[in-house]
Structure 1
């Protein structure tokens, strides 16, 4: 699912524009592609990049009009058995590309009058209710455009065992008990798997069917997709992680507790049928999955942060190719699979690229799409005139966005986020530095010039950034469709991580000192007293902190077992209790020297600080937020 460990979780602020403000029209194509042209371009990209990016296997499918024009696999779909990647038979996982299909399914229910896009979703939910932040309730429109204001979902979203999964309705009920919304709906775009997990369950509660059964009956069968399923079958999609020296490690199959967010498995050629329907007013081989006006509403502009920035439809992102052609697109990343769908309505062309080794997947599919794009003449993209930007110093600073939740387990994952960009004036322009999505993978320095209304355009490129203030805080919207917030030193992830590292080093160092002291006393058979309470406190923290960081990072998406939550998670509370007992004893024992008392008071104070710190970051069995 897009984007827990990748650029999954993105933010946007702005206003909602009318759906008809900018319509993508399925016009007659100006370009006729040929299979030979496509094969030559894609072959060249694969030959130049697959080994370099350590990709085990990839498939490319291109549709034009009503048919698949080009379909070819590269490398292996099954590395262990040397089975080639075949887009006609290799089962793959599409991750967040499940979302456009779930959006289509729920819009079928809107079309039938069972749901409305602008009605409080609580009117349709039977087994739980969604809390309201502020005055306006969440609607289907908010969920489909990722503007619901719901907190990021991270904890226990997947399971390695089908037997450990929970029904989506129960997962969502528990989620809303622990994680309330963080902003009013419609206020800000925030890519979040919980939105479509909730859409999927909304389909279940209104149709009386499981999401898999509904999609099979209403979408997969009409589209001629017999291989597709949201459940693990006898044939298991295989994805890999590069292990060095030409070796690949098979990644485990994950089961989703909210399947609407990214659980679909399908053969690439069959997924192409969905692209054909999107580009042909809802028709595939004479079968209509919905009315043309419903398809159009999915593709129309439903939300944008600023009129000069690309916006969103329902389950589809809007944008432009480098040659200026309007497109609809979406990506999907899950357990090593990385894929992208691009629809070009003006040409009635659909492109789907999937990679089964995720580390270099986005770089590869962008190269493929870029090569195909060059076969279509979109005309020259005009440069926009530069206008005076005023005081550029006001924009200077570090901008970051968080992928972690604000409530519940996982809040502390923000310590490890590295999604930040440094902005500074460069003459009459701005220099923005950071690791850009779909870039080189390294820190790049790009220059942006003002085109008015606090919007800046990349020099020599098409990327646009919009700077704006919200309650006195500067924000920057545009990089990977995200809104990044200007952060002070003490709120930056690097600073928070340094504080955590300092706490770890202090307690581990103190534990080592006391262990050495006990060892020396034992060897020398000395009788000098050593504080067992301080030793116990330091050992408890020395055990807890590394385990929490390492195990917590590895397992947070799978959920923590009871022994971990209340066993390991309670160690700081035990240390806190010892510290309070030691403090009371030190202050009431007049026989102790002043330096001994001072030392114990200091350690007790540090213990209290660390326990409160861990409580604030939701690292204890009970949480601050």
Structure 2
């Protein structure tokens, strides 16, 4: 038994020695999960008040629009390493302009063609799922105010709150569920799971009171798609084809994964720019099809935009009643009257004194946007075969060119707040859109921002620069109401929300031009404190492993006797083993994810990572033994004061390591 223990110990030591040289390089290349939601954003661009153009009289000339669009895409595509892009614009119920740019397949030099090239539109799929749900609502088969669990028979939505989750809240993302990133895709079509089976096993729980805040989740829409399937009695993909795609003559579009052979040959290849070159990414087979699976051409998407702009009608087909379309595009939730909110599926964007509705989409290798200006009967669809922010830049420049602000609204009077009052708003805030119930909670620090107070009575928003590519956004906030601030750089607002005790708990729309919420976190949850805890544990564990496991084993192999073997042997072996196993876990987990590719968690958790999660389960009960040995050491005084102090330090590090791994969902198999 002793020999086996020694062998295991040497294997663990070998893992540590191999891992250590890679830690610094991993720190410079933090692995990030692929976006599977439309939250890939660019900060709101800072801009001076717009001067009206003498030549821009609204959108009237397709050729002028083509020249305008050419200038933007020709500038942005090389700068952002975009291989291919497409745009379609509709106006007054007709296709106004459509054009492809660059390559659908960069290796084969296949150009993008607006009415032939399919792009994966990611979360724009949610708009089709919401449209399908509203069709069933029209027919009286789906009650928007009903409890979601009323329609579920094989599983139930886990909800600890007395308030039920309503069907409508799935479309406004106020159902209170959290985000999930593990296992949402398959490697092949054969490995995809049926909606009911997947959701029964992987639907995230409700973690917030339903109806209180906006918290975007692709699984909310996936559940809505499953309700469409359950209520209609038709497989979801078939329902969309029969009731939306065919009536709208969207013959080059599909939710099938992969697309049928006649469409698959025209599917744009997704790319990422890495190490100075474009690299094709593998096709993701989504288990969350209602939220992300659609592929479409720009001209087909024009048909969908026309239907929503023309009160449900495209040519001779009526997919929704006029009142239902209006209901979808009404604001059904907002955090503050002056902030953008959300309708059913469609989210608001407020810019240039205009209200627009639409959605964004991004997944590994693709990004897209759909924007409707219903009061002007204009729709814009943009898609690219890489992740980038060109759609946001185009829309801002489009609005400034064709619909410039000719008269600024009357400015709100500022509110004077004391430095003490400003203290109520300062602190670190975290985007609500992160996975709360799995170990991918480790990505949450990438969603942090800090709010400071300035001497002039304003607040300053800053984001950690190493969390953003390029310049980190920073905004100055001027108080205009007790819980409302105006950004001094533009005409956008940021609001704050209080908890039941009157303390500031949320910041709404601090960075992006669409609805969003950040929660204020206590000091011990900030990344600085968490990194300090991790660094302290690594330092102590390394010293214990070196002193009480590595050095004695080396001495033993050299034939040297252990110092005070009878007194030290059981105690230091346990301390050294706990420290070594915890070190292997702390180093091995990020190292293995980096080597394997963290984005592959979308397929599930690799076996080596599962094995690593066994280590805290071993060290946690051993830490109790370690604590008892520490008490005995001080009571019996068998060791010197220095040895006892070091041993106590190891016990302390092992003890705080337990709540540390619990906080990050690293204790047990939480995935």
Fold conserved between structures, TM > 0.5: yes
Residue of structure 2 in register with 1:405 after alignment: 435
CA 1:522–1:556 in 2, change beyond 3 Å: closer, same or farther? same
1:360-371 map, 5 Å: 361-362=388-389, 364-371=390-397
In structure 2, do the counterparts of structure 1 residues 219 and 607 end up closer, same or farther at CA, with 3 Å as the change threshold? same
Structure 1 218/551 Cα, relative in aligned 2: closer, same or farther at 3 Å?
farther
Task: State which of 320, 336, 348 in structure 2 corresponds to 1:290.
Answer: 320
* Contact 2:37 2:362 (C-alpha < 8 Å) held by counterparts: no
Report the CA distance shift for 1:99/1:508 in structure 2 as closer, same or farther (over 3 A). Answer: farther
Deviation string, structure 1 residues 51-85 (Cα, Å, up to 9, x no partner)? 11122211111111222211112221111211112
Answer whether contact 1:417 1:493 (CA < 8 A) is retained: no
TM-score (norm 2): 0.81
**Where do 1:326-345 residues align within 5 Å?**
326-345=355-374
Show structure 1 runs of 5+ residues with no match. 10-29
Q: Which residue of 2 aligns with 1:13?
A: none
Deviation at 1:279, TM superposition (A): 0.7
Q: Distance in 2 between matches of 1:250 and 1:505?
A: 41
Aligned length: 593
- Tell me by how many angstroms 1:486 deviates: 2.8
The answer to whether the 8 A contact 1:514-1:535 is kept is yes
Q: Secondary structure at the match of 1:547?
A: helix
Matched, 1:570 2:570: no
What does 1:36-55 align with in structure 2 at a 5 Å threshold?
36-55=63-82
Asked if 2 retains the 8 angstrom alpha-carbon contact of 1:396 and 1:425, the reply is: no
8 A Cα contact 1:399 1:423, kept in partner: no
Return the match for 1:372 from 398, 407, 410: 398
Structure 2 CA distance for aligned equivalents of residues 450 and 563 of structure 1:
51
Answering whether residue 385 of structure 2 is matched by residue 356 of structure 1, we say yes
- C-alpha contact (below 8 Å) 1:62/1:70 kept by paired residues: yes
Deviations 1:427-453 (A, max 9, x none): 1433333379xx994224333333335
Please give the per-residue CA displacement for 1:169-207, whole angstroms capped at 9, x wherever unaligned: 12222235xx53112211111111121011011111111
SS in 1 for 2:214: strand
CA contact (8 A) 2:630 2:651 kept: no
Q: Which residue of 2 aligns with 1:232?
A: 258
> Is there any run of 5+ residues in structure 2 with no aligned partner, and where?
1-32, 42-56, 564-568
Given the alignment, which residue of 656, 661, 665 partners 1:609?
656
Q: Does 1:478 align with 2:505?
A: no
Match of 1:137 among 160, 164, 171: 164
Provide the rounded CA distance (Å) in 1 between the counterparts of 2:383 and 2:507: 31
SS in 1 for 2:240: helix
Q: How does 1:370-449 map to 2 (within 5 A)?
A: 370-373=396-399, 374-376=401-403, 379-391=406-418, 392-393=421-422, 394-414=424-444, 416-434=445-463, 441-449=470-478
2:199 corresponds to 1:172: yes
Q: Give the Cα separation in 2 of the matches to 1:516 and 1:404.
A: 40
- Aligned counterparts of 2:448 and 2:434: Cα–Cα separation in 1: 11
Name the structure 2 match of 1:497: 531
Between 212-221 and 522-531, the greater mean CA deviation after superposition: 522-531
Structure 2 Cα separation of the partners of residues 586 and 272 of structure 1: 71
Give the aligned partner of residue 21 of structure 2: none
Given the two structures, how large is their TM-score scaled by the length of structure 1?
A: 0.87
Q: Deviations over 1:152-171 (max 9, x none)?
A: 22332223333333222122
Change (3 A) 1:228 1:515: farther
- On the 8 A contact 2:37/2:218 being kept in 1, the answer is no
Indicate how the Cα distance of structure 1 residues 505 and 283 shifts in structure 2: closer, same or farther if over 3 A, else same: farther
Determine if the alignment matches structure 1 residue 115 to structure 2 residue 145.
Answer: no
CA shift, 1:232, in A, is 1.1
Q: Say yes or no: does 1:76 pair with 2:76.
A: no
Does the residue aligned with 2:402 lie in a helix, a strand or coil?
A: coil
Q: Tell me by how many angstroms 1:130 deviates.
A: 1.8
Mapped pair 1:461 → 2:486: no
Distance 1:6 1:585, change over 3 A: same
SS in structure 2 opposite 1:432?
strand
Return the alpha-carbon distance in structure 2 between the equivalents of residues 283 and 255 of structure 1.
32
After superposition, the C-alpha distances for 1:118-166 in whole angstroms (9 at most, x for unaligned) are 1112222222122334322111111111111112223322233333332
Deviation at 1:513, TM superposition (A): 5.7
Is residue 2:593 matched to residue 1:593?
no
| Cα 1:504/1:257, change in 2 over 3 Å | farther
Deviations 1:358-406 (A, max 9, x none): 1xx21x2122222322123564332423232433523233333243233
Range with greater deviation from structure 2 (97-106 or 42-51): 42-51
Question: Following TM superposition, by how much is the alpha carbon of 1:271 offset from its aligned partner in structure 2, in angstroms?
Answer: 1.4
For residue 302 of structure 1, the aligned residue among 329, 332, 340 is: 332
The 3 A distance-change label for structure 1 pair 622 and 52 is closer
Q: How many Å apart are 1:581 and its aligned residue?
A: 5.1
Answering whether residue 189 of structure 2 is matched by residue 181 of structure 1, we say: no
How far apart are residue 314 of structure 1 and its match?
0.4
CA contact (8 A) 2:216 2:433 kept: no
Deviation, 1:426, is: 4.6
**1:591 deviation in Å?**
9.8
Instruction: Compute the RMSD of aligned alpha carbons.
Output: 3.0
